[in-house]
Amino acid sequence: MFLDFFLLLRQHHLPVTLPEYLTLLEALRSDVAEPTIDDFYFLSKTTLVKHEQHLDLFDRVFGLFVTGRESVGAEGLPDIPPEWLRDAMQRSLSDEEKAALEAAGGLNALWERFRKLLQEQDERHEGGSKWIGTGGTSPFGAAGYAPEGFKTDKGAPGKGSGRALKVWEDRAYKNYADDIELNTRNLKMALRRLRILTREGADNELDIDGTIDRTSRNAGMLDIQMQPSRQNRVKVLMLFDVGGSMDEHIELCNQLFSAARYQFKHLEFLYFHNCVYETLWKDNTRRKDRIPTWEVLHKYNKEYKVIFVGDASMSPYEITAPKGSVEHYNEEAGLVWLNRFREQYPHLVWLNPMIPAYWSYTQSIDIVRKWSGNRMFPLTLNGLTGAMRSLKNPKVTFDV
Amino acid sequence: MFTGTDSYIATRELSTAVNAAVLLQKPLLIKGEPGTGKTLLAFEVARSLGKPLYTWHVKSTTSAQQGLYEYDAVSRLRDSQLADRGLESARINDLSNYIRKGKLWEAFESEEQAVLLIDEIDKADIEFPNDLLQELDRMEFYCYELQRTISARHRPVVIITSNNEKELPDAFLRRCFFHYIRFPDRETMEQIVAVHFPDLPQALLAKTLSAFYNIRDVKALKKKPSTSELIDWVRLLLASGVTHDDLTDLDTLTELPPYLGALLKNEQDSDLLGALKRKGARPY
């Protein structure tokens, strides 16, 4: 009978494996637990779940198993469309759209489908959050049920207006919010490749060669030599593109940032928007703590490995022309500044979260790629591995 | 069977996890907010089951090998230089004199089943848990210097704590039981405080707990106070003779609790709470 439970967990994408299931059976057979539903719950939780992020989902699947009732996902939503939604619909829909809405079965039917969709999405448990929002072909898009529809309607009463998506986004990401560590292990392992091992600091290791050498010179009298242990002293300067088109890659960049912070002891990071100009930011909101780019170039010597992270997708003028920036009046073109970086730092790469197959269709990516000498790598595990190799040997490039 | 002790309140959930791990001889991985008694659990389990406890506190520089053994080549070299014939050289020829046993080895060698605490495993290098897979699974390891396999006489009860500073590898997690200590609800918290301070007057207990949970409810706090901080705070209150009358003003949001430093550990949090209180005190 517990096989059903096990399969149900797997259906809901909880990573449970056969050995764990067998352990659970073994535990049930022993006299650890009394034959109550509570104890079964405790026992199955401790044997099957290995991440606290999965606990919430496990609880819900367990509830489903016990009651046989589908409660996953949309319980945060009321059964009938709330008033503010009706109001907003009335105000922001054109007559044609209203007719289309009626043809699709009216608001109540749509709401029901919306709830169902939410359930399915929640079960998949991945970043499917755009699914409903941007699904222009889904009934919701057609009926004006896109987030944009509500953004225009700030005056609508009720706290939910403008944030319809949030209702369940909050739900799905609840457990992930303060746990960016998730999934960064692979990234860390990739970043690990960038190592420059040097001996610095306190002597804590026996230097065998040195000891043999000195002992022989000492006519056989032991002369023990110690040396510092080898440690990674690589210096890394990371420059993140934030805002605008980078917003959709924010998750990935967060993970990279968290992994890099862990892996590199000497890590400096700065922020820019689209392209580097005469100032950079120390703060990712790009509001305060500006720092002149010249100062950066002077402060960090050429020993630093420079990693740009950005999608390099912008108007070509933002790179090639003076005064081309979207944000301010820049005296010198972005490319001039990029070239200064290239001259200063022999070891630099550009990590691009966009899919490489699309790179050639965006002119600005092409420019940046040429500037980097084909050292633009996709922000994937393989790309990252390649980029780390390139930082050690600039001859390593990435060809689309 | 572990059911908590006179000084440690274990929920049914936690004791089930501990008992299952003990019985099925699997390591038990404990996570949870700082200050919810993760490390303490191992001490209490050892005490209540009457088993010896070996603690291995992991630091950022700890390697897995240090838990097994360390071979001190330097002192052997030194000894060999200074030694005469006879007794001394016998000592030098016996390698085991220069092997320093780690906590894992000690726990393996224990005459009776021991409790082994591997504290804060997430502090170590990212490869650290992987290096211990075989050792924890089979409860044995190979000592190259002595050319023999050290295996546990009695499989120890292994309790591992983690603060989530880094993610543990899946292969490692698969071998463990896992329990996440949730922050205790008010009822459990009353029990916890009661086992530490049996003489605490009920009125004061109620006041301190509401003040405590009110502070925890402030969402913007960087570090929420936890059980251990509450215990410290209550101890301070008792030592300084604060009574529940002194704490009544807290409800009106005009005054900060006394000895706030015991609960909040950084100045931003204290400032924030102060600002909130001042806001509450405004007439408009």
SS (H, E, C) chain A: CHHHHHHHHHHCCCCCCHHHHHHHHHHHHCCCCCCCHHHHHHHHHHHHCCCHHHHHHHHHHHHHHHHCCCCCCHHHCCCCCCHHHHHHHHHHCCHHHHHHHHHCCHHHHHHHHHHHHHHHHHHHCCCCCHHHHCCCCCHHHHCCCCHHHHHCCCCCCCCCCCCCCHHHHHHHHCCCCCCCCCCHHHHHHHHCCCCCEEEEEEEEEECHHHHHHHHHHCCCCCCCCEEEEEEECCEEEEEEECCHHHHHHHHHHHHHHHHHHHHCCEEEEEEEECECCCEEECCCCCCCCEEEHHHHHHHCCCCCEEEEECCCCCCCHHHHCCCCCCCCCCCCCHHHHHHHHHHHCCCEEEEECCCHHHHHHCHHHHHHHHHCCCCEEECCHHHHHHHHHHHHCCCCCCCC
Q: Are residues A11 and A145 in the same domain?
A: no
Q: Are residues A167 and A313 in the same domain?
A: no
Domain span at A168: 75-173
Q: Are residues A99 and A203 in the same domain?
A: no
Give the integer Cα–Cα distance in Å for A124 and A145: 22
From chain B residues 133-192, the ones with a CB under 8 A of any chain A CB are 164-167, 169-170, 173-174, 176-180
For A84, the token pair is 């503010």
Q: Are residues A106 and A139 in the same domain?
A: yes
Instruction: Classify residue A185: in a domain, yes or no.
Output: no
Q: Where are the domains of chain B?
A: 12-181, 186-281
DSSP B98-150: GEEE-HHHHHHH-SS--EEEEE-GGGS-TTHHHHTHHHHHHSEEEETTTTEEE
Chain A residues with CB-CB distance to B167 below 8 A? 181-185
Chain A residues with CB-CB distance to B20 below 8 A? 27, 30, 32-33, 43, 46-47
Residue of B nearest to A20 (CA): B174
Please determine, for residue A170, whether its predicted confidence score (pLDDT) is greater than 50.
no
Q: What's residue A77's pLDDT?
A: 54
Return the CATH number at A287: 3.40.50
Q: Are residues A60 and A84 in the same domain?
A: no
* Residue entry with tokens 């088109």: A245
Residue of B nearest to A47 (CA): B177
| B13 part of contact set with chain A, CB < 8 Å | yes
Please determine, for residue B251, whether its predicted confidence score (pLDDT) is greater than 60.
no
- Which candidate from A46, A179, A189 shows the least CB-CB separation from B20? A46
Q: Are residues A55 and A132 in the same domain?
A: no
Query: Between these two residues, A74 and A294, which has the higher pLDDT value?
Result: A294
List the one residue out of A295, A375, A387 whose CA is nearest residue A337: A295
Q: Which fold has domain B12-181?
A: Rossmann fold (3.40.50)
Report phi then psi at A331, rounded to 5: -65, -40
Last residue of a domain, one of A184, A207, A232: A232
* Residue entry with tokens 């993760």: B38
Task: Supply the DSSP symbol for B256.
Answer: P
A32 to B180: CB separation less than 8 angstroms, yes or no: no
B31 to A52: CB separation less than 8 angstroms, yes or no: yes
Pairing outcome for strands B140-143 and B28-32: unpaired
Q: What's residue B41's pLDDT?
A: 92
| B74 part of contact set with chain A, CB < 8 Å | yes
Q: Are residues A380 and A264 in the same domain?
A: yes
- Which candidate from B12, B80, B176 shows the least CB-CB separation from A42? B12
Query: Between these two residues, A258 and A341, which has the higher pLDDT value?
Result: A341
Residue of B nearest to A205 (CA): B74
- Amino acid, res. B109: E
Residue of B nearest to A17 (CA): B174
Instruction: Classify residue A280: in a domain, yes or no.
Output: yes
Instruction: Classify residue A102: in a domain, yes or no.
Output: yes
Chain B residues with CB-CB distance to A26 below 8 A? 24
Q: Are residues A100 and A19 in the same domain?
A: no
CA A244 from centre of chain: 16
Chain A residues with CB-CB distance to B133 below 8 A? none
Would you call B86 helix, strand, or coil by DSSP?
coil
* Residue entry with tokens 């990234």: A187
* Cα distances (Å, whole numbers) of residue A320 to A257, A275, A348, A374: 28, 10, 20, 18
Task: Among B79-88, B98-107, B204-213, name the one with the lowest average pLDDT.
Answer: B79-88
Chain B residues with CB-CB distance to A222 below 8 A? 77-78, 80-81
Would you call B7 helix, strand, or coil by DSSP?
coil
Please determine, for residue B161, whether its predicted confidence score (pLDDT) is greater than 50.
yes
Instruction: Classify residue A287: in a domain, yes or no.
Output: yes
C-beta separation of A74 from A118 below 8 A: yes
B167 to A38: CB separation less than 8 angstroms, yes or no: no
Would you call B61 helix, strand, or coil by DSSP?
coil
Last residue of a domain, one of A26, A53, A72: A72
Last residue of a domain, one of A140, A173, A206: A173
Q: What's residue A243's pLDDT?
A: 79
Q: Please count the residue pairs, one from chain A and one from chain B, whose beta carbons lie less than 8 angstroms apart.
A: 81
Q: Are residues A288 and A323 in the same domain?
A: yes
Give the integer Cα–Cα distance in Å for A304 and A268: 9
Q: Are residues A226 and A241 in the same domain?
A: no
Q: Please compute the mean of the pLDDT values over residues A109-114 and round it to a whole number.
A: 67
Q: Are residues A126 and A267 in the same domain?
A: no
Q: How many domains does chain A contain in total?
A: 4
Task: Supply the DSSP symbol for B184.
Answer: P
pLDDT tens readout for residues B88-125: 777 778 888 889 999 999 999 999 999 999 999 988 88
Mean pLDDT is highest, among A107-111, A118-122, B19-23, B254-258, for B19-23
The shortest C-alpha distance from B256 to chain A (Å) reads: 28
Please determine, for residue A154, whether its predicted confidence score (pLDDT) is greater than 70.
no
* Cα distances (Å, whole numbers) of residue A112 to A80, A239, A379: 8, 46, 39
- Which candidate from B23, B26, B78 shows the least CB-CB separation from A30? B23
